[in-house]
Chain A
Amino acid sequence: MKGGLRASMSWLHTWTGLVCGWLVFAIFATGTASVFRHEIEAWARPTLSAHVDPAAALQRAYDHVRQVAPDATSIVVTAPTPQERDMQSYWLTPKGGFTLAELDPATGAEVQGPKTAGGELFYRFHFELMAPFPYGRLAACLAAVFFVNAVLSGVITHKRIFSDFFTFRPEKGGQRAWLDGHNVLGVLALPFHLFIALTGIVTLATTFMPFGMTAGYGKDLPAFYADVAPETKNLAQPTGRAAQMAPLAPMIAQAQQRLGGEVLRLTVNNPGDAAARVILHRDNSGRLSRPTQAATFDGATGQLLSVTPAPGPAMAVNDLFYGLHMGEFSSAALRWLYFLGGLSGCGLIASGLVLWTVSRRRKLPDPARPDLGFRLVEVLNVGAVMGMVLAIASFFWTSRLLPAELGADRPVWEGRVFLAMIAATILYSALRSQRRAWTETAWAAAFLFAGAPIVSALTGGRSLLRSIAEGDGAMITLDLVLLTLATGFVFMARRAAREPARAPKRRAAPAPAKG
């Protein structure tokens, strides 16, 4: 394009940013919340307690499933961890039966209390957007490609990347302050934004870019999945002879020793049969890469049969990307960095969207009466950004307040309220002036976040006092994060309510060039 590289990249940055901004904000916000999805899960299920021996819990869960589904042909249970207090479980029965259940590590039986989507609500929305498969995942990947492109073109646009890192001039007001803020947020966590978006696409690679897979394997996709997870190859067929199952604890201990880490997941094929197979997958703590690595045992004798071979170099790179995205390799300290990196991404996108309107408003023929396109961007900026914030906050209310009589539909209703909050915020911001819409939705967000711990305490769920009495650090922290978010939105509401610091007209002195 004309006008040199930086000008054309600035143009590209502006428009890819605008096109993907609203969607990417939603993905970043729910992804940031998903860093603590296990903690949110535990918060949503107050009956679960922390610190249960994983081996004993897996045995209890296995015995429970065998009892409720004696004809199950395959049983899968995830182990509890210090973060994850419930056990996700599913089992297959003949004729294609499939049952999902959430098990309590303390009893092995289903978790008591009303059903809730828990941390899964944000986590699934993060890459499926509550859209039917595969469209939500494809949209999320496309948004990530746009976002990576916006980051790259933004870096090329930005010539003084180092000096602007130390530049923040809120007193200048208006566009300059927004641009400084956008630059600081962008540069501060630049490597994080780049890799988190790129590795996010990698996690959905076979959905978004299946053509390598289909070119290499043709119609024989089961062969591809078997090559990816070798422990699923050559599965034993049931013999029809019943056999007593060996205890799990010694197998778990041996698997931990052979795989060099804790057991993440238990899979039992042909349970109760002489050809029962116990497959134990290793968790991903303490290593960047996230390979599928498992030990397979003979269920009847408890003998180790095989260990997954190490992946090849390309697969190792893929596993590394996957592991970097999921961030399961470290303890709390690094997950906080992921959380802060995610928050800075949210701020980067939101400030970029606002900057689009701020830098164009004063060029409008009549700034008080903007054209339809400009107004649409304004409305969607408040609607998409604050709508997503309010939707996330609403979960902490619906999870406690929706009636238990909804039964299995309760998580569905949590999702409906979540989507309704976004729709309602978009509508609301269409009815208010830009400044009022930002101010009032920020107050609403502060109210919802501050109210969540109170509602939780009043409805017999977790209360901060109970968490302190039990010394439950994760739940204390979660309540404090909710209150901190509320404080942040109070600050934002007061700031947004102010008149603009300077008249929007450009003064006689030339303002610094954009970029």
Chain B
Amino acid sequence: MTKAPASPASALAWRGMVAWRAILAVAANYGLCALLAMALARGLPHLGLARVEAVVAGTLAAIIAMPVVPIFVFASRSAWKPTATMAAAAGGLWLLLWLAGGPA
């Protein structure tokens, strides 16, 4: 998958697919990592961590996850798979955050 297809219609579809994955890899990725940081910052104190420790752990986890997510976004054959996976992960993290009492 290194070259745009020759016919104009499939070239357009290919560009749309690349654009969609770019949105997933940059904007959705940032949002997902922000949710991860928030969920850990609020959730970890329930496991006995100090508040500042939970915040730092969540922030570090988000920073480490961010450059890795685009690998999965671009590795899969269909663009729907990363879309669905990221939506599910966001939903799960949202639920965790909500269970932990929401943002302070």
Contacts and interface: CB of A to CB of B under 8 A. Distances in A.
Given A10-B2, A215-B97, A149 B55 contact: no
Contacts of A249: none
Nearest to B51: A216
Interface string B30-42: 0001110110111
A3 B74 CA distance: 12
B67 A317 contact: no
A11 B74 contact: yes
A405 B67 CA distance: 48
Interface residues on A, range: 35 or more
Contacts of B40: 212
A449 to B, nearest CB: 34
Give the size range of B's interface with the partner: 35 or more
A9 B75 CA distance: 7
Contacts of A152: 67-68, 71
A212 B41 contact: yes
A3 B97 CA distance: 38
A55 B83 CA distance: 60
B50 interface: yes
B71 A211 contact: no
Nearest to A156: B71
Interface in B45-84: 45, 49-60, 62-64, 66-68, 70-71, 74-77
A258 to B, nearest CB: 23
B51 A217 contact: yes
Given A149-B67, A317-B60, A212 B1 contact: no
A318 B74 contact: no
Contacts of B45: 216
Contact of B103 (A208, A218, A313, A317): A218
Among B40, B57, B59: residue with most chain A CB under 10 A: B59
B52 to A, nearest CB: 4
A214 interface: yes
A256 B34 CA distance: 40
Given A211-B34, A216-B42, A8 B75 contact: yes
Nearest to B63: A201
Given A12-B71, A209-B62, A2 B52 contact: no
B63 A227 contact: no
A11 B70 contact: no
A308 interface: no
A338 interface: no
Interface string B17-44: 0000000000000000111011011100
Interface in A205-224: 205-206, 208-209, 211-218, 224
A315 B63 CA distance: 14
Residue among B51, B52, B66 facing the most chain A CB atoms (10 A cut-off): B52
Contacts of B71: 9, 12, 149, 152-153, 156
Given A2-B1, A3-B1, A209 B59 contact: yes
5 contacts: A1-B77, A206-B59, A213-B41, A227-B50, A318-B56
Interface of B: 1-2, 33-35, 37-38, 40-42, 45, 49-60, 62-64, 66-68, 70-71, 74-77, 97, 103-104
